[in-house]
Amino acid sequence: PSHLIAPAVHKTREQIAELLSKEVGEELPPDPDQLVRVARERLRQSFIDADVGISGANIAIADSGTLVIVTNEGNGRLVTTLPPVHIAVLGIEKIVPTMEDATAILQVLPRSGTGQKITSYVSFMTGPSRSADIELTLTIGVHGPKEQHIVLLDNGRWAAREDEELHEALHCIRCGACSNVCPPYQIVGGHVFGHIYTGPIGLIMTAMHHGLEHAAGPQSLCASCNACEMVCPAEIPIPRLILDVRARSVEAFGMPA
């Protein structure tokens, strides 16, 4: 992805039309209205036919077992409600203790990410769909999935939690604000600025999730201007952590050529 919260922002309408044309097997013009109409028509039936819907989640509330998904397009709704089984895959750092903690993130995330007071769509999901509307008889799966499963990913997070430097990066709420103010990122873009997770925090996440060997090259893009730390709502000392990753990669692989 080129940006944490806008992974396809670098694509032109012509590129999107070309991609969608290949998928649907007909030549589509680079007209946003038509492209959206075709996507709606084709994708809806796929969601209806699917046996399983797989999503991520922005927050998981331990108190109630509630998943929270925020989007500006509503594109998390069909996948979590139409198929009979919903599987949510999320990192363990997404878990917060209570609804109050989740509410604090819901206020900070859109403000830092897109300058909004609240994201356009905020979905709370607690277990499978249930209803007792008819004669107070509890029925599962009437308005949504009959089953909900949550897969918690470690992928280096637990080790980072024990790391005296990297544990601070686990506070990241993926708002992308650090990318927006990073001068080197603005020049080179997201495809080289980290491996999967991009931008300043991506340089740290890359080492955490994919190993130092993937972070060794991209980390050298950081100019240590400290702009990212100034805007980070989670107050993560990003430049210091990038320098730590840099020191570790130089120790492991030597100075970059």
Q: What is the dihedral of CA 57, 170, 244, 114, to 10 degrees?
A: 50
Pick between residue 79 and residue 193 the one whose CB is nearest to ligand SF4: 193
Pick between residue 83 and residue 176 the one whose CB is nearest to ligand SF4: 176
Rounded to a whole number of angstroms, the minimum distance from the CB of residue 212 to ligand SF4 is: 19
| Residue 243 and residue 251 in contact, taking contact as beta carbons nearer than 8 Å | no
Give which of 56, 134, 124, 62 is closest to 97, Cα–Cα: 62
Rounded to a whole number of angstroms, the minimum distance from the CB of residue 96 to ligand SF4 is: 14
Rounded to a whole number of angstroms, the minimum distance from the CB of residue 76 to ligand SF4 is: 19
Q: How far apart are CA 95 and CA 93, in angstroms?
A: 5
SS3 call for 255? coil
Rounded to a whole number of angstroms, the minimum distance from the CB of residue 145 to ligand SF4 is: 30
Rounded to a whole number of angstroms, the minimum distance from the CB of residue 233 to ligand SF4 is: 6
Which positions touch ligand SF4 (CB under 6 A)?
A: 4, 112, 172-178, 201, 231-234, 236, 238
> ∠180-245-207 over CA atoms, to 5°?
80
* Side-chain-side CA neighbours of residue 211 (13 Å): 4
Rounded to a whole number of angstroms, the minimum distance from the CB of residue 203 to ligand SF4 is: 10
From residue 98, give the alpha-carbon distance in Å to each of 65, 66, 95, 228, 244. 10, 10, 9, 28, 32
Pick between residue 17 and residue 105 the one whose CB is nearest to ligand SF4: 105
Pick between residue 144 and residue 233 the one whose CB is nearest to ligand SF4: 233
Radius of gyration (C-alpha) of the chain in whole angstroms: 21
> ∠142-145-147 over CA atoms, to 5°?
120
Pick between residue 86 and residue 174 the one whose CB is nearest to ligand SF4: 174
Pick between residue 112 and residue 249 the one whose CB is nearest to ligand SF4: 112
Rounded to a whole number of angstroms, the minimum distance from the CB of residue 218 to ligand SF4 is: 15
Judging by beta carbons within 10 Å of its beta carbon (0-12, 13-18, 19+), is residue 84 exposed, middle or buried?
Answer: middle
The residue with tokens 């277990």 is 127
Pick between residue 69 and residue 172 the one whose CB is nearest to ligand SF4: 172
87's tokens: 């599987």
